[in-house]
Chains A and B, each alone.
Chain A
Amino acid sequence: MKRDHLADVKFDEGTSLWKDARRRLFQNKMAVFGLCVFSLITLLSFVGPSLLPYDHESIDLPFQARPPLSEKHPFVCPNHDYVHLYSADENCYVCNTPLEPAATQPARHLMGTDKLGRDLCAAVLRGGRVSLAVGFMATAVSLVIGVIWGAVAGYFGGRVDQLLMRIVDVLYALPFLIFVVLLMVMFGRNFLLLFFAIGFVEWLTMSRIVRAQVMALKNQEFVEAAVALGYGRSRIIFRHLLPNLLGPVIIYTTLTVPAVMLLESVLSFLGLGVQAPDTSWGVLIKQGAEGMEDYPWLLLFPAAFFSLTLFSLNFIGDGLRDALDPKSSKD
């Protein structure tokens, strides 16, 4: 029966479950919409700031707390070059000559400015960078720890499972904020520490989900067949079990990202997260909320970006859940 070669054999290319899932994901209009919006926001956050005429730190002095696309132009006194005033019907307070429009007009502020005269658009995009980075990095940390932890606990069961899951229980019981405060006190305030602290808390739920999935899967006969074929444990876990539970893991991940972004804003609110001059959506929303009645745009724009991101992530998550659910597949 030994064959010489298969060069002349034309293989049927199979449709993998992934291919099938991708097709179904792209048929889901809401998911595609979410994917587009999310990509756009990500792109703007990372590329946008360098295209703007202002950065998020510099103060445009005459333009404090201006609404979006403010039409007002600066005026100068022809005698004193340095005097900047705001209105054409006033005279110079030094020499009382009528003011003239300044020769060089500054670019408009797309989303207006904050109370110090900093460009809000630059701040929102810049803050998006931080929020998305925290969201994804912390989720990645939680993903790696949670999946491995849960898979090991679920696969080995018995004492290993007892030990690993009791550790999870203990960590669940720790008050999160005290834990973060302790970390900050011990290691000093640090951007990377933020990823670590959030990821360190978020992996607990992930490990429980993965453990439950692995326990259900390991009784499937293909896992038993793998043992009978002499495969090693790590091969069984990483090649045979994990790819089969990526569905629920991906879905939970898309739900974790927004949760992490919210958590970051809570920490920033308490002064434990991102500090000025760096900013994040959470920080901006907090600042915007303080002056909500007088300067609504300061709350509106960061909040809009934040919730748009959350919406689109949820749509993507929903789409992925439907696409990866084996029950809705064609057989």
Chain B
Amino acid sequence: MALLEVENLKTYFHTRNGVVKAVDDISFTLEKGEILGIVGESGSGKSVTVHTLMGLVPQPPGRIEGGTAKFDDSNLLTADEAVLRSLRGKRISMIFQDPMTSLNPYLRISEQLIEPLLIHGQANRKEALKRAINMLEKVGMSDAAERVHSYPHEFSGGMRQRVMIAMALITDPEVLIADEPTTALDVTVQAQILRLLKELQTDLGVSVIFITHDLGVIAELADRVVVMYHGHIVEQGDVLPIFENPQHPYTKGLLACRPRLESTFKILPTVSDYLDESEVAGQIDLSEKPDAATRIDAMQKINEPEIDETDLLLEVNDLQMHFPERSGFFSGPKGVVKAVDGISFTVPRGSTLGLVGESGCGKTTTGRAILNLVEPTSGSVKFMGVEIAGRNAAAMLPLRKRMQIVFQDPYSSLNPRLTIEQALTEPMAVHGIGSNHSDRRDRAAALLEEVNLESHFLRRYPHEFSGGQRQRICVARALSLEPEFIVCDEAVSAMDVSVQAQVLNLLKELQSRRNLTYIFISHDLSVVKFMADTMAVMRAGKIMEQGRAESIYANPAEDYTQRLIDAIPRDSVEFIKQRVA
């Protein structure tokens, strides 16, 4: 008998704008001791599904319209609060996406770890603390006994996620629900966490529901897969058949859109290359595009135009960026943090330089220093032969038009009080592009179309768009000044793989159309490999190695680079075959 049996679950949200069928009639089971992966893009209902099971859906506006979720003879959907409380945290635990916000910053982690044990009466304080230390050691904290009394801010993001996992597993639950636990983490940390989860699952025999937007993660971990799209399950089954021979066009698209190190696509396939969505009599009909295979073939890289490596757009020489470190209010600088510690590279016109490294390696500071958003401590940055390091705001103004930046978080990089029209025309007005407002508005409309959005969106506000659309608007805003050079600072890191593929394609397309030069900053080597011609691997403010992207991938000279390569989720069929066997 299955441990958890979900049948015909329906969760709708009754909003002002009508009923949103977030989860619409889905059924699946979770067997004892297996890892079930639920995959889908944001809005597919995967999170709502598990939140419904945990009784975490806010009601109203949410409402469970039907279905059952049988766990050990009780129906989770109709059980009263007391029963749910005795299950939650004791027999069913959950870990969340953002380790930075899901721990209480005012409580020592020891307090937070023992709390579930005390609440469920499984141990007294002393015993609980012992188990907490034990659990922390299990999740890979070597000096657990000393660090158990620390506060959350004393840990890195990866460590916090380990603490979260320890907290979820400390009561020895039967089911662990992991809601995108690695999405907010670097790929290297993600790889560690995935391996840890796998180990713990084997050790403790817990059943896991793992939610993600990334099929690569599923390939690393899951025994069975449920693919969700718009509140429905479009495909489910064992992991190998799904990867070997996906049936549904959505699954095919999701599999194809992840950039792979070994693939040679010029543009990435996206879900919409496979999936044909048509609405017939109020029912959404999903079918496969007949020409999908030929379309994908056409995306292969064929003899790209050579880049003239002598025509340098950007030369960075011995760039240093130091921040003073203070210990107290009255004391002077204690030392310096060398965020960027003497790096040099060049970027030829029309090419892309990929900057890779883990968070805290100085890659973002490098991007900001190049644009003079922070003033570098020393070193030189030459843009088209002109020195720009140390220029003041007035002297930078003519150059701002030519070099732009796209940020990571599309939610905070647009002013929520301005319409898209205002956001796009304002830079033009500042730099005197366009003769009058209606001319600038026409240009803004053209820009929107260039980033594949419709021009009648101009009067809308940022909060009316999805993350992917907002990032397109950010790209359009950067393009409004017709720059030659754009820094993309983790521009796709916060996105679902399916949306990521669309934005990456857009950036590539714009590059060839406008002969743009990019610096592409990311922690994900596979994305950089897809985008970049040359690549620089950064660690602790220094460049470890740089060169042609393909050759670095083929023969990494540094162990560190090899580690970054190993961190990319392995989703080849061979790997899964090996893992399942």
Contact = CB atoms under 8 A, between A and B. Distances in A.
A224 B365 CA distance: 13
Contacts of B400: 228-230
Interface residues on A, range: 35 or more
A229 B430 contact: yes
A220 interface: yes
Contact of B456 (A10, A15, A229): A10
Interface residues on B, range: 35 or more
Interface in B431-449: 431, 438, 441-443, 445-446, 449
Interface stretch (B22-30, B340-348, B408-416, B536-544): B408-416
Contact of A225 (B397, B405, B417, B430): B405
Given A2-B446, A224-B407, A14 B16 contact: no
Interface in A1-33: 1-6, 9-18
Contacts of B477: 225, 229
A235 interface: yes
B404 interface: yes
A93 interface: no
Contact of A230 (B409, B417, B427, B474): B427
A15 to B, nearest CB: 7
A244 B416 contact: yes
Interface in A101-155: none
Interface residues of A, dominant DSSP: loop
B153 interface: no
B461 interface: yes
A225 B442 contact: no
Given A12-B456, A221-B412, A230-B396, A331 B463 contact: yes
A159 interface: no
Contacts of B450: 1
B455 A1 contact: no
B415 A222 contact: yes
Interface string A290-331: 000000000000000000000000000000000000100111
A243 interface: yes
B481 interface: yes
A221 to B, nearest CB: 4
Q: Which of A10, A230, A239 has the most CB of B within 10 A?
A: A230
A92 B389 CA distance: 102
Interface string A207-228: 0000000000000111011111
Given A14-B460, A229-B430, A1 B449 contact: yes
B246 to A, nearest CB: 32
Nearest to A11: B459
B292 interface: no
Q: Which of A15, A18, A220, A239 has the most CB of B within 10 A?
A: A220
Contact of B474 (A6, A225, A329): A225
Interface of B: 15-16, 368, 371, 373, 393, 396-397, 400-401, 404-405, 407-409, 412-420, 426-427, 430-431, 438, 441-443, 445-446, 449-450, 455-461, 463-464, 474, 477, 481
Given A230-B427, A230-B431, 10 more contacts: A6-B445, A9-B456, A15-B461, A220-B413, A222-B413, A226-B415, A228-B404, A230-B400, A232-B393, A240-B418
Top 10 nearest A-B pairs by Cβ distance? A230-B400, A14-B460, A221-B413, A221-B407, A243-B417, A11-B459, A229-B427, A14-B461, A220-B412, A1-B446
21 contacts: A1-B450, A2-B446, A4-B442, A6-B445, A11-B458, A14-B464, A16-B461, A220-B412, A221-B412, A225-B413, A227-B373, A228-B400, A228-B404, A229-B430, A229-B481, A239-B426, A240-B418, A243-B415, A244-B417, A330-B15, A330-B16
